[in-house]
A = this chain, B = another copy of it.
Amino acid sequence: MSFPAHLIDGYRAFLVSRLRHEQDRYRALSERGQSPQVMVIGCCDSRVSPEVIFDAGPGELFVVRNVANIVPPYAPDGQAHGVSAALEFGIAALKIKHIVVLGHAQCGGVKAFAEDAQPLTPGDFIGQWMALMAPAAEKTGPKGSLSPAEYLTRLEQANVVNSLNNLMTFPRLRKVIERGEVAVHGAYFGVATGQLSVRDEASGEFLPVAQEEHARLFATPRF
């Protein structure tokens, strides 16, 4: 199979629309290098693109994406750790100011974990990876009388918080956070409605942002 034709078409669209309007910026970003202020740790999910949700232009977001937006805890064991390497690059080389962990509704990774909590075999990569969210499941507690959808939402949000907690296990990152040089934030995207929520640090709740605009959007028919 050759390179997908619709990707080439998409690239042509990029060429004549985005690149046409932003070619000076791409050139400048090439000459000066990138200097994003925000790092996003998001999910691979095809419905949750950080650049789309935050309408970000080239040079704005330094983005890690893995299944279920997971930050594993600090583990200086001499092994290759992708998220840890990205954090190190973001903080030390790029001097990032904000780290956003962006979770979302209907996360396939979280669902896989909820339905089958044990990794099956050493080659069960999804199981091993999702096991990193075990502390989130523990804090969420038993399903009790929650509907499956409600339970998954809680688990997805607890998983964001677990990633935020794991950020604090990196000594160097903890230091710059405590000094107020870097801030960390939790966010959550509702795929069905497009509503973004941001975690309120005081209450721990995920609160909808731009709620008035969002309500208006759904209240006014286009025609």
Listed in ascending order, the chain A residues whose CB lies under 8 Å from chain B are 1-21, 23, 26-27, 29-31, 33-34, 36-39, 44-47, 49, 51-67, 70, 72, 76-90, 92-94, 97-98, 100, 105-106, 108-109, 112, 119, 121-126, 128-132, 180, 183, 185, 187, 191-194, 196, 198, 209-210, 213-214, 216-218, 220-223
Contact = CB atoms under 8 A, between A and B. Distances in A.
A40 to B, nearest CB: 9
Contacts of A10: 53-56
B55 A4 contact: no
A119 B85 CA distance: 11
30 contacts: A1-B98, A1-B183, A8-B209, A11-B209, A12-B210, A13-B20, A14-B54, A17-B55, A18-B52, A21-B21, A23-B218, A27-B192, A30-B106, A34-B47, A37-B223, A44-B89, A46-B60, A49-B49, A49-B51, A65-B65, A67-B85, A72-B80, A76-B122, A77-B122, A78-B119, A80-B128, A81-B128, A82-B129, A89-B126, A94-B108
